[in-house]
Amino acid sequence: MNKQWFKVIAGVLSLAIVLVACGSAKEEKKSAGEGQQKEELPMVELVWNFPLSAIPQDLDSVQEAVNKITKEKINATVKLKAHTFADYNQKMNTVVASGESYDIAWTANWNWDYLQNQSKGAFLELDDLLNSYAPDLLKSMPEFVWDAAKIQGKIYGIPNYQTVTKREGFIIQKRFADKYNLDVNSIKKFEDIEPFLKQIKESESADIVPFLNDKYGRFNIMPQSLGLEAITANNIIGVDLKNPETPINLYETEQYKHYLDTMRDWYTKGYVNENAATLKNKNDIIQTGNAAVQFHNVLKPGGEIEAKAANGGNDVIYVPLTEPYASTGTVITTMQAINKNSKNAERAMMFINLLNTDKELYNTISFGVEGKHYTKVSDNVIQVNKDAGYAPNAGWVFGNTFNGYLVEGMDPAVLEETKKANESATKSPLMGFKFDSTPVMAEIANLATVIDQYLPALETGTWDPNEKLKEFQDKLKQAGTDKVMAELAKQIEAWKQTK
């Protein structure tokens, strides 16, 4: 009897030991899968390309600080390859064409185009990697943000979650607004700013630019305030928001003619910088503090602090002309993509996941090294040392801005206001639609050539539109606007059937 009981007890204990061992093994596997324990990962170096207004002098020390974090968490180092916004498109085209090795690259719908580069096969499909290595990242953004990032149902770029709306209007240096008693409530449309520009031109020194423009013009960032939405690259084809299903040539609209006439008038009166048609990087003037008025399409909550830093430390005020508006284009303005030929795609996704979920890493790449590049005022508020060699002032380039410190002077309510704007913004009737330009690539290329030839001088007021606009429109038509519009109409109709 005792022997029988002994056998039973021994059997139960053996089973318990097996179950515990199995459970431990499962937990260990689960832990390795969720945490990607660094001891299980071989050391790799990732290469990350991204643009900034200017290349920071002390980028090396920030790279060192970033790598201290990434070594600990994913057993990887990251080579930070910063380029200027003005050079980024050309630089990255060269990188891809030459087969130069890289793992991650910033992309957007306005610089090194997300859709075009995906269609060329530059980017890796990310759905599986997101599910496996970044489930928290997937949960961190609203569904419509991910919908906007999808191309034919697949994700090829990770949006840097920030304000995903646009709000068009003026950025005005406060010193001039105060000096001339500017009534901001009187400014309801673009041309209403002219009396203020006249005062600045007549009263300020010659180095002050009343209205800053550059070779890219301002029409491409003011469609909403004109009742339009651009769909294709180069702002050529879009829709009137009163009839969003019918594509039109935006350069043949009354709104475009009105913009050109206004800009020509301002240019001849000396309100616009004389070098506008050849100015490649407007930040060269902005950082001097000499730009009195600018037009921008992302007047985000709390953005005045960033704009102050960009404007040579001069306080600015926002004068919006529109309410927050969200579209596919407002979401895909800043993204990270993984090179289709990356040898370390899984680790690259782990890094992007950290950029968007790890506050220490995000704030290091955004603000630099504590005690050197910035000083903490409180737990979540910092003071930036702009003379320390690292003040990129571009957290939106790197990752989820809601993880960032507040810069001293910024309203603590900004983050909640931004989230509220994201959620409550008017959504485009074409939200989620993306134009596949592959069937008309030749026409798009020809149109780009025409635009490069005419747009800088036309949109800065350097050329008289009465002499050159018709010629520009004719050249666009010859280059293929009708074919592009027909293809866009076809794709919008097909997209509607899937909704």
Give CA 332 to chain center in angstroms.
Answer: 6
Residue 453 one-letter amino acid: Q
Q: What is the predicted pLDDT for the residue at 24?
A: 39
Cα 279 to Cα 259, 309, 474, distances in angstroms = 19, 21, 26
Cβ neighbors of 10 (< 8 A, separation 6 or more) are none
Distance between CA 53 and CA 265 in Å, rounded? 30
Who wins on pLDDT, 23 or 334? 334
Residue 240 has pLDDT above 90, yes or no: yes
Secondary structure of residue 160 in the 3-state scheme: coil
Q: What is the predicted pLDDT for the residue at 39?
A: 60
Residue 20 has pLDDT above 70, yes or no: no
Encoded tokens for 399: 């990752």
Lowest model confidence (mean pLDDT) among 32-46, 54-68, 291-305: 32-46
Distance between CA 212 and CA 389 in Å, rounded? 27
Q: What is the predicted pLDDT for the residue at 347?
A: 98
Lowest model confidence (mean pLDDT) among 7-21, 178-192, 229-243, 299-313: 7-21
Residue 10 has pLDDT above 50, yes or no: no
pLDDT tens digit sequence for 173-208: 999 999 999 999 999 999 999 999 999 999 999 999
Say if strands 44-52 and 104-107 run parallel, antiparallel, or are unpaired.
Answer: parallel
Distance between CA 348 and CA 78 in Å, rounded? 9
pLDDT tens digit sequence for 264-305: 999 999 999 999 999 999 999 999 999 999 999 999 998 998
Question: In 36-166, which ranges are continuous DSSP H helix?
Answer: 59-74, 85-98, 114-119, 127-133, 135-139, 143-149
- Category of 368 on φ-ψ map: left (φ > 0), alpha (ψ -120 to 50) or beta: left
Cα 238 to Cα 58, 223, 280, 407, distances in angstroms = 42, 9, 25, 38
Model confidence at 3, in pLDDT bands (50, 70, 90)?
very low
C-alpha distance across the termini of the chain, in Å: 74
pTM over 0.75: no
Encoded tokens for 320: 């919006």
* Phi/psi at 76 (5° precision): -145, 150
Model confidence at 498, in pLDDT bands (50, 70, 90)?
confident
Chain-wide mean pLDDT for the chain?
Answer: 91
Contact 328, 428 (CB under 8 A): yes
Q: What is the predicted pLDDT for the residue at 26?
A: 36
Cα 370 to Cα 105, 185, 392, 394, distances in angstroms = 26, 41, 15, 17
Cβ neighbors of 13 (< 8 A, separation 6 or more) are none
What value, to the nearest 5°, has the Cα angle with vertex 234 and ends 335 and 418? 40
**For residue 459, which of 169, 218, 114 has the smallest C-alpha distance?**
218
pLDDT tens digit sequence for 471-487: 999 999 999 999 999 99
Contact 41, 347 (CB under 8 A): yes
